Amino acid sequence: MAQADTQSDRGVVRPAESGSASAPEPPAPLAGPGAAPASRGVPSPEELLARAVAAAREGAALARQYRANGVGIIGSKSSHTDLVTAADRAVEALITRLLLEGHPEDRLLGEESGESAADDPNAPYRVRWIVDPIDGTVNYVYGLPEAAVSIAAEVDGQVVAGVVRNVFTGAEWTAVRGGGAWRDGVRLTGSRVASLDVALVATGFGYEAARRAHQAEVLRGVLPRVRDIRRMGAASLDLCAVAEGRVDAYYEKGLNAWDLAAGGLIAQEAGLLVTGLRGAPPGPAMVLAAPPSVHGALHDLLVELDADGGP
Ligand code: IPD
Ligand code: CA
Ligand code: CA
């Protein structure tokens, strides 16, 4: 795996050598069992997933190309550590074009360009795409192989299909609502961890210093109560890791819709409880994804530690 040489040359990073997917692509997945049928001219979740998967594969290929040619850091966003690269923008532009071409009635929310407006912003719509072109941008810039394209499709405000594709390895996770969660043809069921004290828990941190300070305090309370902590650096991949049982649980404050939409559905379809705290839905204040066996204990610990409070 390539590393950035120094802080000063971080604008041009050598290509990552490991993990590039070169195997021929399998076809986009077909319908999982039990998914909702198409209605009133809205494409079925399976059709939406097929479009999402095709776009995610092209987006990931473009991200790898940019990686091979040197990652151009354009600047930062919410704080000086929140990077944006030419690849983030180019990948989002490509995915947007692929998803909306021939579907002018659809809307799209992308991390880099915000909410698309149709010619008539008041025109009714049913399908909205939610796109994180590169989730794990810091990993991407450093050549650490945990960065992903994340695409979800909402119908009437509910996420019905999602794909997360690791840009470096080509691993791909998919779900349609009611049809289970899948990785490369294998159905995912999360972990069967018995109790919180032996749970491996993933988490992540925001980009602002004050929020990080609060998150560090919460972590101080969590760490002695669990097997261990992982901070892998891409929320969508964390959610897929919980779906797969590669970690037992995940929590994070501060996620945006594009971090959560696809991975959240995948985790839920794998049988995890994906919630906020105190009965709230998952969202910016808190996303907690855990199997039923430890959800209650981790939930109560996070409440005790005021994990959804602070800046
Ligand atoms: C970030 C990553 C990170 C998480 C942050 C996200 P970005 O997304 O998912 O793991 O901790 O909350 O903002 O900026 O790399 O797309
Ligand atoms: Ca993200
Ligand atoms: Ca991003």
The reported pTM is: 0.87
Q: Are residues 53 and 181 in the same domain?
A: yes
Is the C-beta atom of 137 inside 6 A of ligand 1?
Answer: yes
Is the C-beta atom of 204 inside 6 A of ligand 1?
Answer: yes
Is 106 a residue whose pLDDT tops 90?
yes
Q: Are residues 57 and 141 in the same domain?
A: yes
Is the C-beta atom of 263 inside 6 A of ligand 1?
Answer: no
Domain-located, residue 21: no
Q: Are residues 91 and 159 in the same domain?
A: yes
Quote the percentage of the chain above a pLDDT of 90.
76
- pLDDT value, residue 10: 29
CA-based Rg of the chain, rounded to a whole angstrom? 19
Choosing from 156, 185, 214, the residue where a domain stops is: 185
Is 17 a residue whose pLDDT tops 50?
no
Q: How confident is the model at residue 66 (pLDDT cuts 50, 70, 90)?
A: very high
Nearest CA to ligand 1 atom 12: 206
DSSP E strand boundaries for 190-300: 200-203, 228-230, 249-252, 273-275, 287-290
- Measured from the CA of 255, which atom of ligand 1 is nearest? 12
Selected residue with higher pLDDT from 269 and 125: 269
Domain-located, residue 27: no
Q: How confident is the model at residue 123 (pLDDT cuts 50, 70, 90)?
A: confident
Contact 216, 204 (CB under 8 A): no
User: One-letter amino acid identity for 237?
Assistant: L
- Could you tell me the distance, in angstroms and rounded to a whole number, from the CA of residue 79 to the centre of ligand 3? 14
- Could you tell me the distance, in angstroms and rounded to a whole number, from the CA of residue 133 to the centre of ligand 2? 8
> Which residue range is the domain that position 266 belongs to?
196-304
Calculate the alpha carbon distances from 173 to 102, 155, 207 in Å: 26, 20, 26
Domain-located, residue 296: yes
Is the C-beta atom of 205 inside 6 A of ligand 1?
Answer: yes
- Could you tell me the distance, in angstroms and rounded to a whole number, from the CA of residue 233 to the centre of ligand 2? 9
pLDDT in tens, 201-237: 999 999 999 999 999 999 999 999 999 999 999 999 9
Mutate to test the pocket of ligand 1, among 109, 131, 132, 135 (most ligand atoms within 8 A of CB): 135
Is 299 a residue whose pLDDT tops 80?
yes
Mutate to test the pocket of ligand 1, among 140, 259, 260, 286 (most ligand atoms within 8 A of CB): 259
Q: How confident is the model at residue 29 (pLDDT cuts 50, 70, 90)?
A: very low
Is 23 a residue whose pLDDT tops 60?
no
Q: Are residues 96 and 177 in the same domain?
A: yes
- Could you tell me the distance, in angstroms and rounded to a whole number, from the CA of residue 135 to the centre of ligand 3? 4
- Could you tell me the distance, in angstroms and rounded to a whole number, from the CA of residue 88 to the centre of ligand 2? 10
Q: DSSP state, 222?
A: H
First-to-last alpha carbon distance for the chain, in angstroms, is 35
Choosing from 137, 166, 185, the residue where a domain stops is: 185
Tokens standing for residue 293 = 């066996």
Is the C-beta atom of 135 inside 6 A of ligand 1?
Answer: yes
Q: Are residues 166 and 247 in the same domain?
A: no
Q: Are residues 217 and 299 in the same domain?
A: yes
Residue 285: is it exposed, middle or buried by C-beta count within 10 angstroms (0-12/13-18/19+)?
middle
Q: Which ligand is nearest to the CA of 111?
A: 3
Is the C-beta atom of 234 inside 6 A of ligand 1?
Answer: yes
- pLDDT value, residue 70: 78
- pLDDT value, residue 119: 64
Residue 234 contacts by C-beta under 8 Å, 6 or more apart in sequence?
Answer: 135, 136, 139, 146, 147, 148
Choosing from 143, 159, 185, the residue where a domain stops is: 185
CATH number, position 101:
3.30.540.10
Tokens standing for residue 281 = 């839905």
Is 46 a residue whose pLDDT tops 80?
yes
- pLDDT value, residue 76: 74
User: Which strands sit side by side in the sheet containing 273-275, from one edge to the other?
Assistant: 228-230, 200-203, 249-252, 287-290, 273-275
Contact 70, 13 (CB under 8 A): yes
Q: Are residues 61 and 168 in the same domain?
A: yes
